[in-house]
């Protein structure tokens, strides 16, 4: 068998399909393995490039195969799909992975360590507990409304509602017993959620990058922790705009024939991270509307002419770019420095007239227009000859 230079692996829970090619791009390996045979096979294989889709358990297999000396690349599934041949099966998927990883413009997913995945578990468990709490509170409200007991919005109204339910003498005993069960579950859920949030806060405080990101307006403890956990390598992005586009905070482009058509944001990338940045931006805008804090001239003008939600998305986009730069450079966010930079930029634009032409060019352009005499001057010029159909040109 020829030397394998690239190997695509389609993973699943128990069956693994391999597709390998040699230096001449010829197929030299098509093999199906059971889960227990994977590490044994790769331990005997000379070190080579191995590609996997970034799906469930992919980071585990990337670490395991990397420990055996192989260079492992994780590929986003949506970028692999165009390279999958006709018909959907394991062999075609492995072939598509092997082909996609050879493309020079392919983007890869950084392999996460076990510690980074444990931290992500902390965030995932918190989100699941919050969803359960919302579900349980809605259930308590719905059942209480069936007996004529209602409460205002807010989690802080659940406790008083349960007290009213327990003190209601007209409520059947069976209903009180069921409400007691729901109340016990709600209290236990709140306790577990408090513990998880305390662990998350401790993790955020011990990470230096997360502490620096916390200084950016619109980035809270949860957002700072999420950014560090979900973006382990900011160098994977060429610019802050690429990072914002990865988060789905850039307009959807559907342009053609030289006509630019921009729609709403793409909503691509990590939903939790995008939601956290938008919520943080919304909080900043609310504080500015209440007269608290200092807003940049750009944000003040944006709030004045655009809806609040659109302004929040624009501010989240800008925050993402700032965060990317801080993560890449290791610098701290300096509010005064940012204000000085904005003032210098506005002064430069004011000095350059309309911001698109230097003062001399603008003056010359306006001077030429004035010397032409406006519309009268334009009318005094000789008009060009006009050709009608195939006839000879005539003067007008």
- Judge whether 326 lies within some domain: yes
CATH code of the domain covering residue 96: 3.30.420.140
Average pLDDT over residues 324-339: 85
Out of 347, 363, 391, pick the residue that ends a domain: 347
Same domain? For 24 and 142 the reply is no
Same domain? For 62 and 188 the reply is no
Cα distance between residue 53 and residue 92, in whole Å: 13
Please say if the pLDDT value at position 84 is more than 90: yes
pLDDT digits (tens, 9 = 90+) for 341-354: 666 766 776 666 55
- Judge whether 317 lies within some domain: yes
Average pLDDT over residues 135-158: 94
Same domain? For 240 and 259 the reply is yes
- Judge whether 367 lies within some domain: no
Same domain? For 333 and 241 the reply is yes
Q: Count of domains in the chain? A: 3
Cα distance between residue 128 and residue 24, in whole Å: 49
Contacts for 19 with CB less than 8 Å, ≥ 6 apart: 7, 8, 9, 10, 27, 29, 30, 91, 94, 95, 97, 98
Closest to 321 in 3D by CA, of 187, 213, 395: 213
Same domain? For 156 and 269 the reply is no
Same domain? For 201 and 261 the reply is no
- Judge whether 192 lies within some domain: yes
> What Rg, from alpha-carbon coordinates, does the chain have?
31
Same domain? For 119 and 188 the reply is yes
- Judge whether 126 lies within some domain: yes
pLDDT of residue 392: 42
Average pLDDT over residues 297-321: 93
Pairing mode of beta strands 49-53, 71-75: parallel
Same domain? For 183 and 216 the reply is no
Per the prediction, the chain carries an average pLDDT of 86
Contacts for 203 with CB less than 8 Å, ≥ 6 apart: 119, 122, 210, 225
- Judge whether 109 lies within some domain: no
- Judge whether 378 lies within some domain: no
The proportion of the chain whose per-residue pLDDT surpasses 70, expressed as a percent, equals 85
Out of 308, 324, 347, pick the residue that ends a domain: 347
H/E element, 386: none
Same domain? For 52 and 125 the reply is no
State the residue range of the domain holding 288.
209-347
Query: Coil, strand, or helix at residue 257?
Result: coil
Q: Classify the C-alpha dihedral 32-35-40-44 as positive or negative.
A: positive
Same domain? For 66 and 121 the reply is no
Task: Count Cβ atoms below 10 Å from residue 226 Cβ, excluding itself.
Answer: 25
Question: What are the contacts of 330-333 at 24+ separation with CB within 8 A?
Answer: 330/212, 331/212, 332/212, 332/215, 333/212, 333/213, 333/215, 333/216
Average pLDDT over residues 20-25: 94
Q: Which backbone phi and psi does 141 adopt, to 5 degrees?
A: -65, -45
Out of 100, 126, 144, pick the residue that ends a domain: 100
């Amino acid at each position: 068998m020829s030397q394998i230079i690239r190997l695509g692996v389609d993973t699943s829970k128990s069956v693994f399909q391999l597709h390998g090619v040699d230096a001449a791009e010829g197929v030299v390996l098509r093999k199906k393995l059971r889960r227990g045979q994977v590490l044994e096979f790769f331990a005997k294989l000379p070190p080579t490039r191995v590609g996997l889709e970034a799906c469930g358990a992919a980071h585990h297999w990337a670490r395991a195969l990397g420990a055996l000396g192989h260079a492992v690349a994780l590929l986003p599934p949506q970028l692999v799909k165009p390279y999958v041949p006709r018909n959907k099966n394991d062999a075609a998927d492995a072939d598509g992975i092997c082909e996609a990883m050879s493309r020079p413009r392919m983007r890869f997913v950084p392999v996460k360590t076990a510690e980074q995945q444990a931290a992500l578990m902390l965030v995932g468990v918190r989100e699941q507990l919050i969803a359960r709490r919302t579900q349980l509170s809605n259930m308590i409200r719905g059942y209480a409304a069936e007996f004529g007991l209602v409460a205002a919005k807010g989690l802080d109204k659940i406790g008083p509602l349960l007290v009213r339910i327990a003190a209601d003498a007209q409520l059947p005993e069976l209903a009180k017993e069921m409400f007691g069960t729901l109340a016990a579950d709600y209290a236990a859920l709140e306790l577990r959620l408090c513990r998880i949030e305390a662990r998350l806060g401790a993790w955020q405080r011990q990470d230096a990058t997360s502490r620096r990101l916390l200084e950016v307006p619109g980035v809270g403890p949860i957002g700072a922790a999420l950014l560090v956990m979900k973006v382990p390598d900011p160098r994977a992005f060429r610019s802050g705009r690429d990072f914002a586009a990865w988060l789905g905070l850039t307009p959807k482009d559907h342009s053609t024939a030289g006509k630019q058509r921009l729609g709403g944001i793409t909503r691509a990338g990590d939903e939790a991270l995008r939601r956290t940045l938008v919520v943080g931006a919304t909080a900043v805008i609310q504080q500015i509307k209440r007269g608290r804090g200092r807003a940049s001239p750009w944000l003040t003008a944006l709030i004045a002419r655009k809806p609040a939600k659109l302004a929040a998305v624009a501010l989240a986009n800008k925050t993402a770019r700032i965060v990317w730069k801080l993560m890449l450079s290791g610098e701290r966010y300096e509010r005064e420095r940012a204000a000085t930079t904005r003032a210098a930029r506005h002064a430069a634009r004011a000095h350059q007239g309309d911001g698109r032409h230097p003062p001399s060019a603008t003056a010359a352009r306006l001077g030429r227009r004035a010397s032409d005499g406006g519309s009268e001057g334009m009318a005094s010029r000789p008009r060009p000859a006009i050709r009608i159909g195939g006839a000879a040109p005539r003067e007008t």
